[in-house]
Amino acid sequence: MANFLKRDREAFWRDGFFILRGLVPEKECMGLRDIAQEHLAKQLAPIEYEVDVQYPGAPKNPDAEGGKTSRRLLQAFSRHKKFRDWAQAEQIGSILKTLFGSAAISLTQCHHNCIMTKQPGYSSETLWHQDNRYWCFDEDNLISVWLSLGIEEDENGCLRVIKGSHREKFGSDRFNEAQFLRADLAANNELVQESIPVELAIGDVLFFHSRLLHAAGRNLTKEAKLSLVFTYHTEENYPVANTRSARLPDIALEY
C-alpha cells in the first residue's frame, strides 16, 4: 500500500490513531454519499435515531420537534454492495494486517458497521468514551476505520481524541454508569484539555483504536455530516459467546 508508511504504523500505536489523507477519490466518496442520502430519504431501516440514544441535545421523544432525526444508518455491510466493497477493499485489509501484525483480519458486523450521520438542527453530543465500553472480545484490541464523505470539523461535530489514551489504564471510577468519562473529576477534565479535533476532508480515512478516548460535538452547520465506519479485529480475537459482540457473524477479509 503505497500511501501507508512504517511511520504511520508507529504513529498509530503511539497515538492510538492516524489519518490517511485523500485515500479515496472524491468521485467514489460521492457515490457512497449518494447511496447514504437515498437510504436516509427513504428512512430505510435499521436506523438509530438521535432520540434512541438520548445523548445531550437529542430530542426527548419521537413526537418532539426533530424526533425523527437519524443518527446512524445501521448494518452498512448488508445495505449495499458499494459499502461492502469498501469494507473489504484490499488496500484497507493490507493496512490493517500491518497495523495488527496479523495475516487474518475480520470485520465485525456487530459494532459501528454504519453510516454515521450528524444532521443539522437536532444532532447530539457524544461524551468522552472508549469504544470498548460495550464491546466484548477476548482482547480490547479492535481498530475502526472511518471514511469521511465530506468535511469534518469542530463546527459540524467532528471527532475529538486524546492522543495516547489507548495506552493508559483507567480505573472504572473514572467513568460513570454509562461508561462516559465523569465530568466531575479534575483528572478527567485535565485529560480532556489535551484533546484535539480530527479534521477530515472528503476521502480522508481515520484509523483509531478501540481504547482511544474520543468524543464529538453537535453539528452546528446546515449540512449533514456523513461518514462510513467499520470495525476490525484479528481472527484470533474472538467475540465472547452470548454477548452483543457475537450477535452476527464476523466477515473474514480475503486479501
15 is a site residue for ligand AKG (CB under 6 A): no
**Which of 216, 224, 226, 228 forms a contact with ligand AKG (CB under 6 A)?**
216
Q: Confirm if 72 and 137 have CB atoms less than 8 A apart.
A: no
Q: How far is the CB of 255 from ligand AKG (least distance, A)?
A: 26
Q: How far is the CB of 39 from ligand AKG (least distance, A)?
A: 18
Q: How far is the CB of 66 from ligand AKG (least distance, A)?
A: 16
131 is a site residue for ligand AKG (CB under 6 A): yes
Q: How far is the CB of 131 from ligand AKG (least distance, A)?
A: 5
109 is a site residue for ligand AKG (CB under 6 A): no
Would you give the DSSP letter of residue 237?
A: S
Nearest CA to 211 out of 161, 154, 146, 140 is that of 140
166 is a site residue for ligand AKG (CB under 6 A): no
**Which of 70, 119, 126, 245 forms a contact with ligand AKG (CB under 6 A)?**
126
**Which of 23, 36, 116, 145 forms a contact with ligand AKG (CB under 6 A)?**
116
214 is a site residue for ligand AKG (CB under 6 A): yes
| Closest CB to ligand AKG among residues 39, 97 | 39
Q: What are phi and psi of 246, to 5 degrees?
A: -115, 15
| Closest CB to ligand AKG among residues 39, 118 | 118
Helix, strand, coil tally for the chain in percent (to 5) = 30, 25, 45
Nearest CA to 231 out of 201, 206, 199 is that of 206
| Closest CB to ligand AKG among residues 56, 62 | 56
CA dihedral 231, 234, 240, 244 (to 10 degrees): 10
C-alpha cell at 70: 437519524
Q: How far apart are CA 217 and CA 222, in angstroms?
A: 15
Q: Confirm if 46 and 115 have CB atoms less than 8 A apart.
A: no
Count, residues near ligand AKG per rule CB under 6 A: 7
Q: How far is the CB of 52 from ligand AKG (least distance, A)?
A: 12
Q: How far apart are CA 93 and CA 250, in angstroms?
A: 14
Helices (H), 88-202: 90-100, 186-193
Q: How far apart are CA 74 and CA 88, in angstroms?
A: 17
Q: How far is the CB of 213 from ligand AKG (least distance, A)?
A: 10
The residues that touch ligand AKG, with contacts defined as CB under 6 A, are 116, 118, 126, 131, 159, 214, 216
